[in-house]
Structure 1
Amino acid sequence: MNLLKTLPAAAALIALPSLALAQDAAAPGFDEIGPYIMTTLLFCMAGFLVFFMAAGFAMLEGGLVRSKNVTMQMTKNIALYSIAAIMYWFVGFNTMYPGDFNGFFAIGGPTVLDAVGVSAADAALDYASVGSDFFFQLVFVAATASIVSGALAERIKLWPFLIFVVVLTGLMYPISGSWKWGGGWLDAMGFQDFAGSTVVHSVGGWAALAGAIVLGPRIGKYGKDGKVIPIPGSNLALATLGTFILWLGWFGFNGGSQLAMGTVGDVSDVSRIFANTNMAAAAGAVTALILTQVMFKKPDLTMVLNGALAGLVSITAEPLAPTLFGALWIGAVGGVIVVFAVPFLDKLKIDDVVGAIPVHLCAGIWGTIAVIFYNSDATLMTQLTGIVAYGVFTFAVSLVLWFILKATLGIRVSEEDEVNGLDMAELGMEAYPEFSRG
């Protein structure tokens, strides 16, 4: 009786090897699907890191504005990321990819994501899932909008700013992004921008510059004699935390832009990008530290923070090809640029609260030019053509949009509201209600 009970089980055990062999024969091996899996994982993990940069921008801005404006910056940052996510799905992604922008907008986003399981589009994409590719590209868009947020802080109204974000993330960025990353005319020309010194950072910088010109400086920033009056931020510890978060996120920003992790060579390249990215940031910070000591007799922490960010922006256009020494001197030049660009903007009475224009626009231009020293496919004329094309398009469209918003809705709060702080005037709440506003 007991023997009879064990016979079915024994038969099943005997059959298991043949079943396993049949499954192995039908299923693809890791050599076939491994690159797809690993590259999809790279996009997801790098996307998480770049997403976390949203927190870095928020903390940096929250620390560099006065306490009476901190809640406004937090509101702008979570709102702009959320708007970017929706707009890039609605119109941005399909407008930017694939190919050159051809005069019409592809509305509806990557609808293949609505399907369950592996879609035909996933199979066609071949190297990674559509979902991971979409997510990775999306988080870059929000970084562009965050650049504008910091530069125009402490005097801009919330809703006109968010309307600008809608246009920037849904239309402006995807159109210009298609020129290079969508396989458009600049890509065909040979313009090189590995992870976006120009495509992302300079675009944000140009949009911020146009806004700062139309908006005007904060009350009390410049004296009648032209003297610059410093306006200290509320929390330099928070600003430092924000910088470190951005530094961390940049490993995903640049490393993920390898766009492949399916071979030993790809993985080695990603690690090389990490090392170069880190070196450039360190060099930018140390350069700013030394320069401010020499020029001002005391180190300036805000300059050191922006020096690190400028080093990161500088290496973003080509983080793979340089040696570690190459990354060091490219990042160091970025640090020099920030230290001199900040007072230069003040001479022009262009008020940039967090130093976003020197960091993202000026260092972005430098990084795009620096590509020619290590990438044999890049030429100075081609790089300059790309810089000018992105600059003219983004600055001109932004300028027109800011003027339209100014004429219709008004973009600046009243003098009374600016003095009292945007937290109470625009939102009715404060970040630090237990402390007196300053």
Structure 2
Amino acid sequence: MNSTGVGGDVFFVLVGAILVFAMHGGFAFLEVGTVRHKNQVNALVKILVDFALSTVTYFFVGYAFAYGTTFLVDAATLSGGGGGFELQGLTLVKFFFLTTFAAAIPAIISGGIAERMKFWPQCVATVALVGIVYPLYEGIVWNGNFGFQAWLEATFGAQFHDFAGSVVVHGVGGWIALGAVLLLGARMGRYDSKGRPIGIPPSSLPWLAMGSWMLCVGWFGFNVMTAGSLDAASGLVAINSLMAMVGGILAALVVGKNDPGFVHNGALAGLVAVCAGSDIMHPIGSLIVGAGAGAIFVIGFEMCQNKLKVDDVLGVWPLHGICGAWGGIAAGIFGLESLGGLGGVSLMSQIIGTVVGATYALAAGFVVYGILKSTMGLRLSQEDEHLGADLAIHKISANPEHDLGR
């Protein structure tokens, strides 16, 4: 490849990395708008610190664990002087891009454990999840580690297809979060003495909406730039992402009975679900997949909160866990040529890959957070939870001047 082609690919992947990095602001403001005012600063700090910890951990441990590449070589080699590194630092921007994916795991979990989780145990969890737990499954699916993909292809005719991470990223994050939330327990005052839910309204719908918008915009980098090069970029991925997003919005609007929180999360549900098959499905199939995800999220959120009594604050298990699983399986349905897709997928491989990913992530969530619960403790004291994580942990509120009465 000539230098112009390499430079174009470097820029292409870099723009994708920047777009997905911006999505972490979306995670932050989605949480800021959903939690109570006394926990807004904590939401912002968690997402930023988790990203920093994820980057360092993924650089030294996680990326090597998934792809067998270490960055502990000289800068000339890193820039493309040999040792398996692509020219002009293309490998480095691919690392940046994949780092933003890895950092999405703790960002997803953050919304489920909000308002009552200690700060430092979550930092330790981030290191464990991004250093070992996530890269293990990432490497199995996206790098062919341990022969799992080869076995699926030999047995069912196709590998597990997860183009942009419905299961690898979102499903894993959502199912880990379920384990964490179950171990953590519900917030004080969320349910009465008879187990009946007590509503805790969002602190700011505009902030929530802005978080959703930021995530939606960045998602086109998340999906389209997964191609990794200009030559491999596909407009089909872009239009499928768009159609799934609007399908999720409209379904959540109807099933959620005009609730603005459901509408804005419905867009994200559709985008979560389309990641896996965005490169192979027909746009109409993507619209159906997105609409299904929007309905799944609303029903799943209400079931989770009201029936199962699981206090998942932002609904990250139904949004990322269940909708991610739906997306992984849906790629094996709507990716088929008989339904207008490009083919090359096996429904059985999609089911197995999805179930393995969800089961592994749920078990990992219980293990990581279970160890932390028994050693460091997970939960704020009742006094600190009542005070709010902002003052209890960070010693400052979202509006400190207002608190001083000035």
Fold shared, TM-score > 0.5 on shorter chain: yes
| 3-state DSSP of counterpart to 1:218 | coil
| 3-state DSSP of counterpart to 1:129 | helix
Q: Distance in 2 between matches of 1:251 and 1:215?
A: 34
Q: Which residue of 1 aligns with 2:319?
A: 359
Q: Which residue of 2 aligns with 1:15?
A: none
Percentage of pairs with the same residue: 36
Q: Provide TM-score, normalisation by structure 1.
A: 0.85
2:309 is the counterpart of 1:342: no
1:133 to 74, 85, 94: 94
1:77 to 40, 43, 47: 47
Q: What is the one-letter code of the residue matched to 1:218?
A: R
2:270 is the counterpart of 1:308: no
2:351 is the counterpart of 1:384: yes
Deviation at 1:377, TM superposition (A): 2.2
* Maintained 8 Å contact 1:306/1:355: no
Deviation at 1:230, TM superposition (A): 1.3
Deviation at 1:436, TM superposition (A): 6.5
Distance 1:122 1:195, change over 3 A: farther
Q: Which residue of 2 aligns with 1:418?
A: 385
* Maintained 8 Å contact 2:71/2:78: no
Deviation at 1:434, TM superposition (A): 4.6
* Maintained 8 Å contact 2:275/2:327: yes
Q: Which residue of 2 aligns with 1:165?
A: 126
Per-residue deviation, residues 349-394 of structure 1 (Å, max 9, x unmatched): 1111111111100100000001112142222221121112222222
Q: Which residue of 1 aligns with 2:396?
A: 429
Between the two proteins, the alignment pairs up a number of residues equal to 388
Deviation at 1:316, TM superposition (A): 0.4
Deviation at 1:410, TM superposition (A): 0.9
2:110 is the counterpart of 1:149: yes
| 3-state DSSP of counterpart to 1:57 | helix
Aligned CA-pair RMSD = 2.0
* Maintained 8 Å contact 2:78/2:92: no
Q: Distance in 2 between matches of 1:232 and 1:303?
A: 13
198-207 vs 385-394, which moves further: 385-394
Q: Distance in 2 between matches of 1:434 and 1:349?
A: 37
Deviation at 1:273, TM superposition (A): 1.3
1:280 to 244, 247, 260: 244
Q: Which residue of 2 aligns with 1:187?
A: 149
Q: Provide TM-score, normalisation by structure 2.
A: 0.91
Q: Which residue of 2 aligns with 1:9?
A: none
Deviation at 1:119, TM superposition (A): 2.3
> Which consecutive aligned stretches of 4+ in structure 1 deviate over 6 angstroms post-superposition?
none
Distance 1:183 1:126, change over 3 A: farther
2:209 is the counterpart of 1:240: yes
Q: Distance in 2 between matches of 1:134 and 1:255?
A: 16
Per-residue deviation, residues 256-300 of structure 1 (Å, max 9, x unmatched): 1112213xxx34x1x22112111211110111111222xxxxx11
Deviation at 1:432, TM superposition (A): 2.1
Give the structure with higher Rg (CA): 1
Q: What is the one-letter code of the residue matched to 1:422?
A: A
Q: Which residue of 2 aligns with 1:13?
A: none
Alignment of 1:3-14 (within 5 A): none
Q: Distance in 1 between matches of 2:85 and 2:51?
A: 29
Q: Distance in 2 between matches of 1:113 and 1:385?
A: 41
Deviation at 1:397, TM superposition (A): 2.2
1:226 to 190, 195, 206: 195
Distance 1:122 1:280, change over 3 A: farther
Q: Distance in 2 between matches of 1:213 and 1:47?
A: 33
Deviation at 1:117, TM superposition (A): 8.0
Deviation at 1:161, TM superposition (A): 0.8
Per-residue deviation, residues 174-229 of structure 1 (Å, max 9, x unmatched): 11111011222333221110000000001101110000000001111112233211
Deviation at 1:113, TM superposition (A): 6.5
Q: Which residue of 2 aligns with 1:331?
A: 290
2:344 is the counterpart of 1:374: no
| 3-state DSSP of counterpart to 1:410 | coil
Give the gaps of 5 or more residues in structure 2.
153-158, 337-342
Q: What is the one-letter code of the residue matched to 2:91?
A: V
Alignment of 1:11-50 (within 5 A): 32-50=2-20
Per-residue deviation, residues 10-52 of structure 1 (Å, max 9, x unmatched): xxxxxxxxxxxxxxxxxxxxx7344322222221110000000
| 3-state DSSP of counterpart to 1:229 | coil
